[in-house]
C-alpha cells in the first residue's frame, strides 16, 4: 500500500483542466467537423455523393450539404472531390440540440451554442445517466467509458452513470437500435421518471450509420424516442462527448 501511495504522489495531478483551461490536444489522426467551401463545387459533379458510404452528402445548385448525423468521418468524400470543396477540421465541438442542426451548409464555420435547458432547475446540481448500448459495436461505448477515468473525471461536473434507470435523469444511447433491443430501450426509457433526457451518441444512434439500410435495425434513436442532444462521430472522441454534456448542463 505504501508503494502505491508513493507512485500516486509521484504522478501528481492528472485530471485535465478543460473547460476552465485549454482543450485537450487531439491525436494526430483525429478527424473533426467537416468544412464545406462555398463556390468551389462543380454543378454537375457527384464524386463526393458517389463516394459516401452512408449517403451523408447531397449536392444542390452546385453546393455540397453534409449531414453530420450520417457521417462516419471516413474522409472518402474529401479524397474523391476534384475541386477541394470538402475538408475536415480538427474541431471536436459538434453536439447539437436538433437533428436539423447537424446539416452542414457551405460556409458554416462554428456550431451555434445549445439552447439553455435550465438543467439546474430540472435536476439540481447533478445529472445521472443510464447508458444503453442498443446494438453498438462498443466503440462509442468505450469512448463514453473513458470519461470516467482519472484524466477526464466526469464526476467533477456532477455527471455520473448509474446502474438503474430508476436512479437516472436520462438515457445516453449508443448503437442503431436493433430489433432485438427496441423493447429493452423502450422499457428502460419508461423506467426513468419525468423530467428526463435522451442523449444520442454516435452515427448509429443518430441515423443508423452504416447499418441504416439493414432490415434488423432502426435508423437511430429518433425512430423510438425523443432526443434532446445529438453527438455525432464514428465514434465520437471523448472530448466531443464531454463538450456536448457540458453544454447541456450549462458549464460552457
Report the pLDDT value the prediction gives residue 175, as an integer from 0 to 100.
93
Report the pLDDT value the prediction gives residue 237, as an integer from 0 to 100.
95
**Is the CB of residue 201 less than 8 Å from the CB of residue 158?**
no
Q: At what angle do helices 139-146 and 238-248 cross, to 10 degrees?
A: 60
Domains and CATH numbers, the chain: 117-248 (3.40.50.12280)
Can you say how many angstroms the Cα of residue 241 is from the centroid of all Cα atoms in its chain?
Answer: 5
Question: Mean pLDDT per 10-residue run, the chain (252 residues)?
Answer: 77 79 88 86 84 90 88 94 90 92 79 61 81 93 93 92 94 95 96 94 94 87 94 95 90 74
Report the pLDDT value the prediction gives residue 214, as an integer from 0 to 100.
87
Report the pLDDT value the prediction gives residue 39, as an integer from 0 to 100.
73
Report the pLDDT value the prediction gives residue 41, as an integer from 0 to 100.
79
Peptide bond into 19 cis (omega under 30): yes
Amino acid at each position: 500500500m505504501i508503494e502505491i501511495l508513493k507512485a500516486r504522489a509521484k504522478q501528481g495531478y492528472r485530471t485535465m483542466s478543460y473547460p476552465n483551461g485549454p482543450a485537450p490536444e487531439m491525436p494526430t489522426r483525429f478527424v473533426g467537423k467537416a468544412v464545406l467551401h462555398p463556390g468551389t463545387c462543380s454543378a454537375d459533379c457527384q464524386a463526393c455523393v458517389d463516394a459516401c458510404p452512408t449517403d451523408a452528402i447531397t449536392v444542390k445548385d452546385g453546393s455540397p450539404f453534409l449531414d453530420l448525423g450520417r457521417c462516419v468521418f471516413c474522409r472518402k468524400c474529401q479524397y474523391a472531390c476534384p475541386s477541394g470543396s470538402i475538408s475536415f477540421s480538427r474541431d471536436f465541438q459538434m453536439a447539437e440540440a436538433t437533428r436539423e442542426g447537424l446539416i452542414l451548409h457551405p460556409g458554416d464555420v462554428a456550431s451555434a451554442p445549445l439552447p439553455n435547458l435550465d438543467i439546474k432547475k430540472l435536476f439540481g446540481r447533478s445529472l445521472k445517466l443510464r447508458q444503453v448500448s442498443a446494438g453498438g459495436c462498443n466503440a462509442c461505448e468505450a469512448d463514453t467509458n473513458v470519461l470516467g477515468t482519472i484524466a477526464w473525471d466526469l464526476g467533477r461536473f456532477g455527471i455520473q452513470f448509474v446502474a438503474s434507470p430508476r436512479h437516472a435523469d436520462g438515457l445516453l444511447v449508443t448503437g442503431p437500435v436493433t430489433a432485438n433491443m427496441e423493447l429493452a430501450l423502450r422499457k428502460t426509457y419508461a423506467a426513468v421518471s419525468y423530467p428526463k433526457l435522451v442523449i444520442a451518441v454516435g452515427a448509429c444512434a443518430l441515423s443508423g450509420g452504416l447499418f441504416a439500410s439493414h432490415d434488423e435495425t432502426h435508423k437511430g434513436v429518433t425512430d423510438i424516442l425523443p432526443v434532446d442532444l445529438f453527438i455525432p462521430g464514428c465514434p465520437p472522441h471523448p472530448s466531443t462527448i464531454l463538450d456536448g454534456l457540458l453544454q447541456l448542463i450549462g458549464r460552457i
